Every structure is written in structure tokens, then in C-alpha cells.
Structure 1
């Protein structure tokens, strides 16, 4: 569904956009047969306009998204795709407008490409059950009669065009994202032709810069296409008979995309940047089409929404006033009325609010993307509480404009600390004066103040990306001290309020488990015996029960928590200063572990008296918040203090814990916590900040029942918001992209080019397109912007609409778990094969290849029957089949179908079985085969298992990383494949070997061959490069994509998520960047279309052939003759 920003447009579609509004970024343009009219999709609807430009009118208006309109050959009908029924399905309607009719019902969904010249069939693309990867196929769909879609050929492709006689198909294979500019490599788009009569494929155009989007000329002798031979995709033409190829447009910066030709060949339309152009053969230059919206309505300039969820929070020390961020603005409220008062109302994003002492002000970061600074808000009327003020003063504190994050106030309230750019750490006075760089860092540190404000404890990545815990004096009077000194990551350091201990989390115990560790800063505290701890606890218990000199009438004041009343300011008790003392000798050896088996702890925070250490974790299956008594005694277990988890946790002096949980500011009494089983909460993300888990509040969508619910009314300008969101994306690349040259682009000029377009965007789809075009200027992998979280400024924050009747179930096209023979003449449907593990592979509903399904639900099956007629229905509904076996006998089978999505997983297993059988056959049982689908730990554990299950007794192993999208486990694989062989072990009566329990992983030291292809990405490419660099084996297949950058992600306001490539990878031998430099196999071999889906795998065949040769060479290597000690001459 589209997500329009305009309130009016959201309500009624594009009909309420201003009358003079230019249409930017129209999608999927198509021309009438004579080229005089133009249709396109924009703002989620189908539009019609004159090819000469001017006002456009909407032909569809509905809550779904309509797209890909195409004129019929006679110009009377429009076909288009719509998700109004849930799936992307084809519809037709009169070209002048009118009610649409649905013409297909298979819920796998469709893309519309073209009309057949007969005016009855559509050329469509859909993903069914043909292959586990790249399963999209081309079909002809009959619009006049409901029947089965006709498969054109069994392999993948995109951007297809039917010849005028309908006998040939031009299509594209491969290709990176359409918005990427300048790519070269194995992923470059290729143009192919398929002849339906001869059923042969012809490669027509292949260039390292890419050729795509072919369109037949009316005479069928050649075609137009877009090609990047000169660096930027321009319109070109190609003659099939002569091979003559020439450029028709001369765009230097903006790429030609989405070309479409009128059926008479007189006019061609395409988009460049945000506008459509026409080009007429023989006229030379293209002409821009100026389109506007035809309507009498004017939308409001500002958007209004009710905010009910916060993204950041800061509680006052007494917990009675709350500053929070919602919708990118700063608000404040109390805990009783909970009526938010808006402090800021900017298009920029405010974040990280911090209270100044005694409530004199609020510090916060204002992030405009291009420029970021710290500001201070104060009440206009200081005689009133914050939440009773109607106006506030805002003062800029820093003025350097550099990116800032992780703002905090020192415990004495005199200094503020923050990170700049990628991680340089600064301390300044609270008014911004005297900023000092305390620490130079290329990555953001994770830190906490000492209670006397004289020290910092922090974790920081080193050059090996290992985090240690460091202690640094604020005055830099001594070098930073490495407290943890361990090769596994430590993080989340927190200093106890009494100044005596530092706690942190670490993986130092091995494996993936994270535990809590702590160190006493003074030797004498570390040496306190267990009895001394119990003695102190007994004394404290008696002193608490029998306080000295307790006078009648004072209990009420003491119960209020030792606060001094200060009018409308905070009630804070002046604490005695804590003098932190550190015994440096062997401090790093005074580290203790608090272990919880099978649990990863995070989000540490202390109680005010330093006697409890709280954390988020899973104990006995319950994900919740727990606390250890501190110092712990023996094998003490933590107690659950809340059944939920949260971020920004702070244990107040009043005894309450305040935090952000489920998007709500909340507080609770840890001594009265419930022990109900919580809903599962995702594990904490890395990057913890002084209590709580960064991101957990966003992950946990269920509001905290103890939370302070609010509704904050916000008004903003959508265009300004999009402009700032664009600047956030632009600045993130400027500051963090791994190569500061940013694709050798003028990054300031890039901003000037695209920011105005983002400002004009009316919806998230257009905003996303603008951001993608900006990213495309970098010409790099691992880039992209995805809308998410909030669906836009009117996302989940909008109050729920009045209840309307809802469907009790969702209709879907289901799968029997059996694939069918294409073009079987009937009667019935003949079974081609059974997918292992699917419905037809179960004992009570088993089917067999070669059998014929005659009926489903009592309906006779004919070859042309639309499968959706008998297979559409609720997901959990069984179907009854009448099946005829090879001997002619019939039987009834009751079967519960599965989904097409689930079938794609079954197809993967089917493909694996085929490959393993093929290698077994080609090698005479001497070689094994395994495929690594992803570079993640679950795939690695499967790999380790298959080293045995597929490799046991074999002489060599085929390791396949084709279609592997990457991850991070290349070094784990290499550890298993390059284990040093230094000895041979033989037990009494046994054979030569080596004890497996002495190895890090199961290992393989026999010959291997690695298969890779153009769809091997990232870490799979690093692995392929490494196999060559280490001379571990031969590599066979197609060159990898050249897409190697370590990436993270960054939230962009409430608009979406930006991928953040931050670390480059370079070859150890030549120092070359692996980006745009794919691993080239020793033997390069590309498959032809339609081979792989029918089991012809020439890459695998070649791999087996190469490996057999490697095995023969390996067998000839000299091996030592084993000689026992008793066989030596001196021992005889």
C-alpha cells in the first residue's frame, strides 16, 4: 500500500493535490498505439495525460497501489497491476476510465510487461515453483478467458518485450539496482532473445557496464534499449542482422530508465531523473514532458498527527517530570495528567534529552543532517513546573555543526560529554565553552562517568575490531588504562555510584554467550572475605530495623525519599561527594564473572546504593529485567525485577526504575515487580548506552502496562521533513561511507541536485527514489534505503480508524507439494516430481511422479484450467484429490496444501539432493558436495556437519557458494579448511587419523573445488578470493559480483532505514579493493538460459572434472612411512 504524506491525499488519493503541482517521478510510462496519449502510475494511482504534457487526470482511486499501466494494441483498454485485493494482480479497464475487472487470481502475484499483438494476452512475470532462486518466469495471460497462464520458457529474466509477431522475446538477465550509476562487473545486465518456434536462446548484447530494457521496433528487425557503454545509461538502438549499435541520447549525468514505445513506432517515452521525455525517431534530441495535476482541490500545507510513542526519554531525578522525543520533537509532561507540552517544533530531529541540575534546563541534540549541534531549552516561567509552561526558550550551545551523539552530563552537573563525527570524544562546559577532545576515535565509544566526574570508563574498537574496557582521567593526567585486556568484545561499562566497582559485559568465556563481569577498583575491596560481606549485611539489616534517634512524626518525611523541596524545581538531596580511588597494580587481574548459563546479559545499570546490579537477559526461558545483589555471594542467582525490558534505564533515588519500554516512558518499583512470563523480546542490539538496551524499546511493540500513556498533537510540513530526512542520508554517507571519495563524486553538488527533489516529494515512495538516486552516485554495493518503522509521518502514530468488518481469512493460492508437467495434454494434471518434505511427500497424502491428478474437490482437471480455481482458499483447508496411478488404478487422497513461499524452501532441498546425486554419479562415489547458502553461523554449523556427512570416506569435496548473499563467516570456513596438519595419530589396533576433539572445528584437508557465480556476494566473495590467495583449491564458475563492503544500518528519523557501508576489504597479495573487483575463477564458465532449471549444471560438471584432477595430484604427494619408537635401530 502506498503511504501518502498529504492528509488530503491519504484520504482520497491523488485527487487533492494542488492544481498547479508538477508531477515528478511518474513511474512506468506507456504510450497509446499512436503515441498521442500517455499513461503512468504516480502516487499509487493510474494517470492519463497528453504526450505533449499539461494536466493529467487520475483513472483509478483506491486505497491499494495501482501500477504498470499498458495500452492494448487497439488503444481501447488499459491493463495494470493492483494490490487492492492483497496480492499484486492484473486488472483491465477502459482506457478513458471506468470500472476495472480482475483478470487473474494467482496470489503469487504478477508484474505486467506488455500486451501481445493479438490484444487478448498479456505478457506478465510471476514467481511460481520453477526454481529455488530466481524463480521469476514469463507467462502469457489470457484476458478474455480465465485459464492457466502459459509459460514461455523455464528460466529467469526481466524487462521482456514481445516481437510484433509474438514469436520472439527480448529480455534482460542480471543487472544491479536500476538507480546505481557506473557499475561494471559480472552483475552487469545482458540482453538476450528467445525464439518461441525454435526454442533457442541468443545472446545479443553484453557489456561490462550493462545493457537493459529492450523494446522491439515495429518492423521486428531491431530494438531500442538503454546501455551504459559510455558510463551512463542512454537510449540506444540495435540492428539484429548487422549488429549495428548506436547511441540516440546524450545524457551525461542522469540515466535513461523505463523506456516505452508507441505501437506505431512514432514516439518513445522514458524517464530521466524525475521527468518524462519523448523522443521521436529521426528528430534527434528528446523533449521534456511537463505534467501537472488536474484537480480543483488544494491540500493543507501542514500535516497533523497524534503521537503516542516515544523514541527517547529522560526522567527528572525525582521521576516526576519526563522529557521525551516523539516524532522527532522534544516534549515534556508530568506523570499524573500526562499532557505533553511541546518544546521544539522543527523539521530537524531532536534527540538525546538530558536534564540540567535542579531542572534549570534541558540539553538536547538537534540533528539537521548537514549540520548538528547541541541546544539548551529553558522555561519561560521558572515559577511553574516544566509541564505547566506554555513557552520555552531555545539557545544554541555548540556551533561547529559537526555530527554529534551520545550526549551526557557529568554527575556534578558541570560538564557535558558527547561524540563527534565517527567517534572523537569531547568534554565541554554545559554552556558549550572550552570543548576538549578527550579521545580520538574512528568509532563511537560506549562510556560512563565516574561518580566524582573525574574519570571515564569506556569501551572502544581497536584496529582488529575488538572492544576492550578502558579507564581515562578527564584531565588526561595519565594514559588510558586497559582494564579488560581480552581478545573478545567487552561493552556496556557502568561505574557503581559509590565509585568502588566497574561492571561490564563480555564474551570472554567463549562461544556466543555474553556474561557480566566486574572489577573492584581498590585491592582491599577485592580481598573482602565472604564472611565479612555477610557480617556487613547483618549490621545493615539491624541498623535499618533499629535506626538511632528516630523521632515520632519524621517517618512520613523519610518515606518521601530524602528530597529537599525547591519550589517548582526538582527535589534533590545534596549528596556527599564520592572520591574515587583506584589501585592500579594488577587492576586488570581483579576481574570477576557473574555467569548465567545460556543467557546473554545486556543493558547494565546500578541501584543508587550500589548494592544491586540490574540487567536485561533470559533466565530459565524468561526474557526480562533482573538484578544481582552486589557484591554477590557464591553462586547467587539474580531476581527478576520486571517482566519487561527497556532502554534508557535509570534507578532513581526514590527506589523506582524509570525507562522507555514498548515506546512508552515507564517506571516501576523493583521490589514489587511481577513475575509473570513476558512476551518474547528480541535480543539487545550492540551499542549500549548507560543502562537499558539501545533499540529494545523499538523492538518491543507491546506497550508497557506500567507506562505513562500520552497523546501529543504534532503539526509539521511534509516537504521540510523529507528535505531533512534526505540530509540525514546524505550526511551519513559523507561521514561514514568507507571511501571518503564517495565514488569520486562532488558530494556537495550531489546534495544540491537531489535535495530539492526530496523537498518536493509527496509520498515515501518518491522520497525513497530520490534517496536511491543520491546513493547511486557513489556506485557501490550494500547501499539502499528501506521505509519501515513508521510508515511515514502518518504511520502507526495515527489514531486507529473506526472499526470496520474484517475478513476472517485470507485467500491464497496453495501448492500440493508436487510439480506438474508443462503442456501435458490431459486429461488431468501429470506429476513431474515430488518436493521432499512437502505435502505430497507425507505418508497419508503421498503422491508419485508420473501419476495424474484427475480431480480436485470433485472438479475435473483440464490442462487449461486456472489452478487458482481449485487451489485458492484458506491456508488450513484440506483438499480431496482423485489420483490415477501409472497402472490406471484410481484412489482418493486428502492433502493439506502448503504455500508457494514454503515451496521455495522445498525447492532448495530438491536442488541440493539433485546436486549431491550428480556429484556422486560423476565421481563414481569418490567426491562429496555441499552448498553454503549464507555466510551465517547456522549455515556454518550445517557446513561443519556436512564435512562429515558428505565428506566421510570421500577423496575430495565440492564446496558451492553460488547464490550466496554473504554474511560474516568466511574465516570460520577457512579455519575448518586450512587447519594445520602437523602430526598423525594412530591408536592400538586403529588406523591413521587425528583426534577431532583437539581441533577448533571439524576440518577438511583433502582437495576441494569451490563454485561461485555472479550472485555470490560480499563474504562469499571474500571466501572465494581467499581460496585463491591461499592456494587452497581451484575456483570454478562465473566471476563474483564485486560487492564487498562491511555494512551496518542507521535509522533515518521515522522515515526508514539506511544501509551504512563502513569498512572496505582489500586483497592481501595485491592490496586491491574487493569492491568492484570480483573473484575471478580459475575456470570461468557461464550457464546458458534454461539449463539449470532442468538439471543441466555445466559449472558443477566442470567443478567435478577439475576436482578429480586435483585429487589425482594429491594422491601422488609423498606421505611419510610411520615408524614406531621400537622400530628405531637404537631401540632394537
Structure 2
């Protein structure tokens, strides 16, 4: 009996052990011990260690946030890593066998570890401080055993830094985009550089067609390993310094070698390919995939509970008593008193767009059916009970389609359901025949509304010039569409009045409109011509109509709307504009009696909801400070129902406090959802919200693998249906899905799902792509840094022996550039808040503290006299803005000095309207009296103002004006913008992107000037963003740009300068700008040619014979 019990126990242990074993895939940032015996990596937010041959891995850290980028010390005794446990990324270390992590860095700007120095005495780190306004990341060394100053290696940016075995040289990379993008060719590819620490010289070693990354030194220093990219991925190579030859070591035909690491003895190189880690042995060329697993008690969770108290969309029944809403991607229903939501659907995908039938007997919504979409209907299992009294519901898929339906709207007779399919097809579903047909096909989703008789649609249509007009069309799709607005500025959100007599919409109606006006049109001119007395008479008759004898009123049922009568003759000329001044209108909706038009937006300096009484005086009146989405003005209770900040709301409303949640305390998962040990917390506070909000709280059980797959599928479908190039990178998009979906399903945390989505996006080889996770707080993680590293508004001289800190320069307009707290170049700060300081100490010991505080300095002036200075510091982020002004002033002075005041300099940091307004001002402040302008769009990531800039630079010159006693010119008030017709030269580089590239291409196309610098990056596509479930945001590029001369796509086709010139590292931060110097030479020649052009001799009429 005992033998049987023992055998059973052993069997149970074996079963439990097998059940706990989990495979580890998509491990990140591998590192090898110096002898190559051990492998460290980060996975599921922690640092793990395993044998370099694979097998069982064990965690070395266990933290609710993210630990990453492990690095072995040369003596193998400790592992340094990066963690967000102090909110900003900081470097920590931990003993090899585990223990309590020790923090090594404290600057709240964050620090990333690169490696230990070969002698083990210091760490090589990368951080952004105050060295330059853009690409401010720099390499530093930190002493290993003590808290000391960061030592700058050189003053310019780089990445993937590795020190040579003798510690005298540094290999690093410059440029390079997202590691997950495949096949990019252009000026932005990664380059490998070599820096000699003793000679202080730079050498570009590799600059391949597709880019080279992640250099790793050979132990003898004669060469290095690296990753070279190709059209479909990348491989591992070996470069020899002496022969300058490279040898390919791995032979992967597709997918990328990423994050390689080498043992210090050179015995092994480990990297990730696709989802798995591989080990390469240089001695025999063997490459082997590593099988990794763990048997820890921290298994990846397959399901979790989460508390939901916010909806993404909501709909009310016509009596306002029932609410259907989407929360956590599922469909729920509740009443307005108990507010105990009942779950109708429970799927990993996201339901959307719920609407009640007028009788309240059914709810229509959008759902997923496998790989397709459906318009579905939900009804109560027991129709004799209210929705909130039912616990079971019946759902039916009415129409299944490949492209997502949206914008569901029932026809007035409830027999037809209209919807938008895919990118923009307006369709109708016959609910009796259960058959859908198209009304019209389009490439852009319209706003639309039914006419009250169901015979017409009013809708928006975007033309090929991206102007959106208001159109009318028969709801059966027959007949020719009619353009109602016929206006050069975009209109949107058309709404038909319930009485069928009017259509209102929003849009700009004049070039000077700062926002959107409201437009109103009567469909019959007789209604348009009614006087105010006519309308008052109608109102009086409405009140008297139906009165019984004896003076008592008897309510009558609402009449069926009469047929809509449209007089198309000169209809667009009858559009009336309600001028909102500086205000704007967002969403329009009617009162049930058509007497008022409501809108959300701003008016008279206030934001909220406003109404307009239909009559002679169309003046907006404030209704409420509340605004929401999908508003409906119900006749019952005269209430507006909508979704306000995620809460179903009635305005005005009478919602009472919600009841306490009868369910047990919810289980709130740790960040990542993949680790055990969830922390229990109470439900969120419930109650009345301003404006009649119907708050709620529900617990939702989530199947995490299915949810992960649904997130991935949503991103995959969105790109399939909307990416601007229908060829999808010449990929079989179904195969791309099959390649990554299973890994997304297995993902241990949201961050790994994000990586799967990004790798899928990388197959497109496109710009403006990315998936950002929704913000989430990890348990125990501080919401904000406890301290902030202060910036004094000065920069310190490197290498100053002390004592104290010598000021290298003072940032303009910073805290040290004020009269009461003035510091000067050459001053020496001896004490900060009473603590003696010098260049060897970690200044965060005195600079870290509350963000808003005063600091006291003891300063030795350049005259040798001590003085006390009190100032209020700024953040390092704010200092980077001052560094921009510092650089701008330097360039302006350089141009003024080199041209003897005849040239001006303008830099456009981004293509936004504030930058254009600044550009207009500087055409005068920097251009007045000058013969030429340098226009700099280097480091400009893009925006949308290229055409505004070009209008200012290419306005026609067709006449000359001369006032009596004055000189020749032209009145500025007659021009569209302040203009510049003299010579220009434009600077661009590999970091000029998107709209800055469109501008650069246009300068060449229009022959307006010459380009100097480096080809732009080739990232030109118009993009937006969409919310993916409640998981994150996906960037969505939908419009390509093509050059007008040869029709070439500007994507992956940067604007090539007339004069190609790369800057060398260390030049720009030191104030040496060879590109700007070349631009001045080019401009000088163009100005000379411009000055020599023939000029007309002005002749007065009285000078004629």
C-alpha cells in the first residue's frame, strides 16, 4: 500500500512538473558570459539565465515592471541590466546567482547600459543629457564600484557601442530605423563607425546598401562581427580590418538576425532569428537553434479578470431606460437605475457600434466571425423580462462579409439597416430578406444620415483632391448623386431634420474661417422664405392643436413623417452659414421637433454643447458644458443621451448613485498579464457623474491567448484593407498572418504581442508604421518620478580639473540667463545647496529633488570674486528646447558673418502651422534687406505645411508698385502670404522626413533653388492612427505621394540634393557645419546670377511721348 502511494506521489510530481514546463520564445537582448557557458536574456519583463546550449532557464529578477538588456561583467560575478522600476530607465546590477538589485544610475533622463568595459572597472552606457537639441544621445563610462560622474567619450550620437578588447577603440552605429523593418534602402540605413579614444578620430567602416548593425569585436581586435541587412532580412558577417573584406557566416534566406552578442573569449555568438535564439560557433561555423524552457512556478497566465468601468461606445433605447454598450470589446446591456450590466457577448475580438431597434426588442452590432465580420442581432432569451432581468441572450449573424462594417443606422421604418463597408462603401441590409446590397462604392468612409421618409441619403464624399462635399442620393442607389454644398472647403457631419425639411452640416465656408461653421439649408424654398411671425404662428398652432372641449389637452400619437420634398433648383445657393467666429462645431444633432439644432464644439470662448433656434436669428446658445460622442436627442424626457468620457450619460439627467458592486474584489493583473501572483484590489469608486452619468463596474474574464491573437488579427486586417499600397510590400498577406499569428497567441505579455505586430508591419518595408500599447500601470510602480534631475541652464566644461564646475556656456533664456540669477561663461560653481561639487562626482546627488524648487549656488566669478546665486532650475527636456535656440543663434551668426550680413538663415524644425507662422515672421525678421536665404529642413520629421511654404516662396511676381516719394515694391496686403522671391538654398539630410521631403522634392521640381546635404530618408506617406480594441494604437498610412515629373513614389525615394555632403561625427555639436558652409557657397553664386538679371526701367505715364 505504501509502495503504491509512493508511486502515485511520484507520478503526481512528474505530471505537475511536466505541466509547469513552458517553452520560451521571443527572448530579447541575449548576452553571453565571458567564457560562453551561460546565456542571459530578458523575457516576460525579467532577466533570465540558462546554459548557452539551451535547456531550462531560471529568473534572476522578479519585478512588476520591465527589466531588460542584461550584460555580464568580465569576471562573471554580476549582471547589469536596465529597469523601469524607478519610472525612468536606470541601470541596475545583480549578483550572477540572484539577489537584491542595486541601482547604479540616478539621472531621471534615463540611462541604457551597453556593456562592461573590458577591464571590468567601468560600464559603457548611453544616455541623453544636454549635448544637442536633437539626437542628443551620447556614450559615457561609469565607474563600476562607486557612484561617480559620467565620463563622455565623444560629443555626438551613436548606438550599439562596444569597446575593443584593449579598451582603446569603440565600434558603434549611426543612423538606422526600426530593427523590425525589412528591406529598407536609403540615406537612413545604419552605418558602422570606429572611434579611436586616444587619437580622437572617427572612421566610417561600413555603409552598406541595406545597412549594417550591431558590431561585435573579435577577441584579438583584428576585426568584428556584425549584421548586414538584405531585401528580406539580415545575416551575420565577419569583417576584417586589414583586408577590409567581409564574410557571410549565416545563410538565412529570409527574416532577420537581431540582437547578436558574443562571449569575450570569442567561442560563441548568440542572436535571435524570427522567434528563437541561435548559437553560432565561429570555430566551426555551426549555427544551432536553442530550445529554452522554464519550470518555475511563475507560469504564463492563460486567463485573467479585469474590472471595466469605461465604455468605447453606447446606445440608448428610445425611452432612455436601457443602455447597450461596448466595454472590454464585449457587448453589455443595463438599465439606468440598478446599473448591473448583463454580458451579451464574450469573445476575444471586439464588438462595435451597438444600436437599439425603435421598439427596444433587439440590438444590432458589429461582430467577428472567424476571419470575417458580421452584422449581428441580439435578443433576449426571455422577451417577457426586461433586458437587465435576462441572463441569457440569443445572437444571430445577419450578414457576413470580408471587410469591416461600421456606422450602422436603421431606416425610419426599421426595415433596412444602412452601414459603411470597408474603406467607404455605403450599403443597406434588408432585414426581412437578410440580404445586403451596395448603394455606392467609395474609397473614403462617408458621414451620412437617412431622410425621415427613408427615400434619401445625405452624405459626405471625399474627392481625389481631398475636398469633402455634401451629397444627396436615392437610398435605393438609383439615379445620379446630387452635390448639395458645391464648396471648395471640406464639409462633414450632415444631419437631416426629423420633419424632413432641413439639412444641417458643418464645415469651413471661407478661407479665413479659423474653425468650422454650421451650414443649414431648407430643401423647399417656401420653408426658407418663412418670416419670424410665420414661425411663431406655427408654434402657437402646435400648442393649440388637439385641444379638447373643456380646455383639456389630449396627447396624440406622433404622426408618420410626410414624404420629403426637395427642390433641387439652386439648392446649393440656399445654404445659410452660421458664423461661429473663433469657435468650431464638431458633432451636429436635432431636437425631436426639428425646432433646435444642437452641436458640440466651441463658441464665444466657451467649450460645450450649444443649440440654435431655427428662425431668423441663428445665434448659438449654451446648453451644457458637457460634450460627448454619438448624441441622440430623445423625445422621452427631452434628454440628450450619449457617451461622455466613457460613461453613458443623459443631459439633463437624473442618474442616482450606482449601487455597490456585489461581486468579490476583482483580481487586477500585473502588467504584462503573463506572471503569476496577481494583486487583489477593491472595485473603483462608483457614483453620480456631472451631467447625469450612468456609471457602472463589471468584471470581465479574458482568455489571454485568444485576446492576443485577436489583437494581432485586427492589426493585420487593418493593414490589409488600408495600407496605401495594395500590393502590401509584394507579400502574400495571408502567409504573413500565418507566420506571426501563432507566436502572438503564445505571447506571455502585451509587449510580446507588440513585437509580433511590429514584425508583421516590418514585412511592408514602409514608413510611418508602428503599434503602441495602451498606457497601463504596473502594481507598485510609481506614477511619476519621486525626484527630477534639475538643469541649471548652463553646461559645464569637460576635463576641468576643479575644484568646482566651470561653466562652458549659458543657455539663452534659461534660468542662468536672467538678471537676478545671471551666470557667465567661465564662472565656477563651487557649491550647490551647500554641497561642494566637482567634475568627479555624480551630480544627481545634488541635482535630484522636487521639480519646482529654488537652488542656491556659491559661484566664483571670472573676476575671482565669490557670490551667491539663487535660481529656479528647469528640466533636461526643457533644456533641450533651449539648446535648439542656442544652435539656431549660432547658425544665424555664422551665416551673417560669412555673408557680411547679406544672407539670412531660417530653420524649420517641424512642418506644423506654428512653424509656418514663425517662418512668415522670419521672412521679414531674418530676410529684410537680405539678398538670399538659407532655408534649413535638416532634422525636420515632417508635418503638413509644405504647400504653405511653397506658396510663400513661389508667389507670382507680375507687377511693381511705386508710391510717390518711395521706391519700387509690392503691397503685402495684396499677397496670400508674406513672400520671398529672391534666391534661396535648402539644406536637407537623412533625418528630413515626410512633409519636409515633399518640400525638398518640390524645390527641385519647381527649380526654386538648390538642395545641399544628404538625400532625405524616403519616408513619405500620409498617415493617421486607429485604436485597436483597447490594446493600443496602430499607425495607419493610407495615401501615397508621387513626383510630378516622373511619377515615382516618394516612399523609399528620398529627395536627392544637388550637392551631396555628409557631416562627420563631432562636427555639428562643435559648431562646425560643412553643409551650411557649402550652402553659403551655392547661395552666393545664385545671388550673383540673380543680381545680374535684366531689370525693367520704370516709366511713368507722363514720360511717354
The alignment status of 1:665 with 2:642, answered yes or no, reads: no
The aligned residue for residue 595 of structure 2 is: 611
Counterpart Cα distance in 2 of 1:216 and 1:298: 37
Could you tell me how far 1:549 is from its partner in structure 2? 3.6
Counterpart Cα distance in 2 of 1:414 and 1:535: 36
The aligned residue for residue 291 of structure 1 is: 292
Q: 1:806 to 1:157 in 2, by over 3 A?
A: closer
For the aligned residues, what is the CA RMSD? Answer: 2.1
Q: 1:17 to 1:583 in 2, by over 3 A?
A: farther
Counterpart Cα distance in 1 of 2:537 and 2:453: 28
Could you tell me how far 1:883 is from its partner in structure 2? 1.0
Counterpart Cα distance in 1 of 2:1068 and 2:373: 53
Could you tell me how far 1:969 is from its partner in structure 2? 0.8
Task: Give the match's secondary structure for 1:893.
Answer: strand
Could you tell me how far 1:703 is from its partner in structure 2? 5.8
Counterpart Cα distance in 1 of 2:322 and 2:889: 63
Counterpart Cα distance in 1 of 2:1065 and 2:450: 63
Counterpart Cα distance in 2 of 1:1075 and 1:929: 29
Write the deviation string for residues 265-301 of structure 1: whole angstroms up to 9, x where unpaired.
Answer: 1011001111111000132241111111231355653
Counterpart Cα distance in 2 of 1:322 and 1:980: 59
Counterpart Cα distance in 1 of 2:374 and 2:231: 43
Indicate if the aligned counterparts of 1:125 and 1:137 stay in contact, CA closer than 8 A: yes
Moved more, 382-391 or 146-155: 382-391
The aligned residue for residue 816 of structure 2 is: 840
Task: Give the match's secondary structure for 2:29.
Answer: strand
User: Which of the numbers 693, 716, 719 marks the counterpart of 1:707?
Assistant: 693
Q: 1:911 to 1:18 in 2, by over 3 A?
A: farther
- The residue correspondences of 1:155-234 to structure 2 (distance < 5 A) are 155-229=156-230, 231-234=232-235
Could you tell me how far 1:370 is from its partner in structure 2? 3.6
The aligned residue for residue 750 of structure 1 is: 736
Could you tell me how far 1:399 is from its partner in structure 2? 2.5
Could you tell me how far 1:357 is from its partner in structure 2? 3.6
- The residue correspondences of 1:279-678 to structure 2 (distance < 5 A) are 279-296=280-297, 298=299, 301-367=302-368, 370-431=371-432, 433-511=434-512, 512-537=514-539, 540=542, 543=544, 547-549=547-549, 575-631=559-615, 633-634=616-617, 636-654=618-636, 655-669=638-652
Write the deviation string for residues 949-1006 of structure 1: whole angstroms up to 9, x where unpaired.
Answer: 1000000000000000111110010000000000001111111000000011000000
Indicate if the aligned counterparts of 2:330 and 2:347 stay in contact, CA closer than 8 A: yes
Counterpart Cα distance in 1 of 2:811 and 2:754: 39
The aligned residue for residue 1058 of structure 2 is: 1082
Task: Give the match's secondary structure for 2:790.
Answer: strand
Could you tell me how far 1:707 is from its partner in structure 2? 0.9
The aligned residue for residue 926 of structure 2 is: 950
The aligned residue for residue 871 of structure 2 is: 895
The aligned residue for residue 762 of structure 1 is: 748
Indicate if the aligned counterparts of 1:880 and 1:894 stay in contact, CA closer than 8 A: yes
User: Which of the numbers 1021, 1034, 1037 marks the counterpart of 2:1013?
Assistant: 1037
Write the deviation string for residues 590-635 of structure 1: whole angstroms up to 9, x where unpaired.
Answer: 100111211011100000000011001223332111111113x33x
The aligned residue for residue 857 of structure 2 is: 881
Counterpart Cα distance in 2 of 1:714 and 1:506: 41
Indicate if the aligned counterparts of 1:18 and 1:293 stay in contact, CA closer than 8 A: no
Return the TM-score normalized by structure 1.
Answer: 0.91
Indicate if the aligned counterparts of 2:961 and 2:969 stay in contact, CA closer than 8 A: yes
The alignment status of 1:737 with 2:723, answered yes or no, reads: yes
Counterpart Cα distance in 2 of 1:70 and 1:934: 38
The alignment status of 1:786 with 2:778, answered yes or no, reads: no
Could you tell me how far 1:577 is from its partner in structure 2? 2.9
Indicate if the aligned counterparts of 2:796 and 2:809 stay in contact, CA closer than 8 A: yes
The aligned residue for residue 1097 of structure 2 is: 1121
Indicate if the aligned counterparts of 2:516 and 2:584 stay in contact, CA closer than 8 A: yes
Counterpart Cα distance in 2 of 1:17 and 1:985: 90
The aligned residue for residue 60 of structure 2 is: 59
The aligned residue for residue 105 of structure 1 is: 106
The aligned residue for residue 1075 of structure 2 is: 1099
Could you tell me how far 1:420 is from its partner in structure 2? 1.4
Write the deviation string for residues 157-176 of structure 1: whole angstroms up to 9, x where unpaired.
Answer: 00011101111000000001
The aligned residue for residue 818 of structure 1 is: 794
Task: Give the match's secondary structure for 1:1081.
Answer: coil
Task: Give the match's secondary structure for 1:531.
Answer: helix
Counterpart Cα distance in 1 of 2:974 and 2:307: 61
The aligned residue for residue 273 of structure 1 is: 274
Q: What number of residue pairs does the alignment pair up?
A: 1057
Indicate if the aligned counterparts of 2:403 and 2:721 stay in contact, CA closer than 8 A: no
User: Which of the numbers 911, 925, 936 marks the counterpart of 1:935?
Assistant: 911
Write the deviation string for residues 844-898 of structure 1: whole angstroms up to 9, x where unpaired.
Answer: 1010011111111222222201111111111112111111112211111011111
Moved more, 774-783 or 62-71: 62-71
Counterpart Cα distance in 2 of 1:190 and 1:936: 30
Task: Give the match's secondary structure for 1:1091.
Answer: coil
The aligned residue for residue 1063 of structure 1 is: 1039
Moved more, 1077-1086 or 88-97: 88-97
The aligned residue for residue 866 of structure 1 is: 842
Counterpart Cα distance in 2 of 1:670 and 1:715: 32
The aligned residue for residue 759 of structure 2 is: 773
Q: 1:940 to 1:299 in 2, by over 3 A?
A: closer
Could you tell me how far 1:575 is from its partner in structure 2? 3.7
Could you tell me how far 1:539 is from its partner in structure 2? 5.0
Counterpart Cα distance in 1 of 2:38 and 2:432: 63
Write the deviation string for residues 884-929 of structure 1: whole angstroms up to 9, x where unpaired.
Answer: 1122111110111110000000000111101111100111100000
The aligned residue for residue 1011 of structure 1 is: 987
Indicate if the aligned counterparts of 1:603 and 1:615 stay in contact, CA closer than 8 A: yes
Moved more, 429-438 or 1013-1022: 429-438
Could you tell me how far 1:548 is from its partner in structure 2? 4.2
Indicate if the aligned counterparts of 2:654 and 2:692 stay in contact, CA closer than 8 A: no
Counterpart Cα distance in 2 of 1:369 and 1:983: 67
Task: Give the match's secondary structure for 2:23.
Answer: coil
Could you tell me how far 1:403 is from its partner in structure 2? 2.0
Structure 1, unaligned runs of 5 or more: 1-14, 563-572, 673-700
Write the deviation string for residues 931-951 of structure 1: whole angstroms up to 9, x where unpaired.
Answer: 111111111111011111100
Q: 1:501 to 1:230 in 2, by over 3 A?
A: closer
Could you tell me how far 1:430 is from its partner in structure 2? 1.9
Q: 1:703 to 1:980 in 2, by over 3 A?
A: farther
The aligned residue for residue 904 of structure 1 is: 880
Counterpart Cα distance in 2 of 1:108 and 1:388: 54
Counterpart Cα distance in 1 of 2:17 and 2:974: 72
Indicate if the aligned counterparts of 2:26 and 2:752 stay in contact, CA closer than 8 A: yes
Could you tell me how far 1:368 is from its partner in structure 2? 6.0
The aligned residue for residue 1025 of structure 2 is: 1049
Indicate if the aligned counterparts of 1:310 and 1:326 stay in contact, CA closer than 8 A: yes
User: Which of the numbers 966, 978, 984 marks the counterpart of 1:1002?
Assistant: 978
Could you tell me how far 1:88 is from its partner in structure 2? 1.2
The alignment status of 1:979 with 2:963, answered yes or no, reads: no
The aligned residue for residue 261 of structure 1 is: 262
Indicate if the aligned counterparts of 2:372 and 2:400 stay in contact, CA closer than 8 A: no
Indicate if the aligned counterparts of 1:641 and 1:670 stay in contact, CA closer than 8 A: no
Return the TM-score normalized by structure 2.
Answer: 0.93
Moved more, 504-513 or 828-837: 504-513
Task: Give the match's secondary structure for 1:228.
Answer: strand
Indicate if the aligned counterparts of 1:488 and 1:506 stay in contact, CA closer than 8 A: yes
Could you tell me how far 1:478 is from its partner in structure 2? 2.7
Counterpart Cα distance in 2 of 1:549 and 1:772: 75
Task: Give the match's secondary structure for 1:967.
Answer: coil
- The residue correspondences of 1:672-691 to structure 2 (distance < 5 A) are none
Q: 1:82 to 1:451 in 2, by over 3 A?
A: same
Task: Give the match's secondary structure for 2:407.
Answer: strand
Could you tell me how far 1:57 is from its partner in structure 2? 1.0
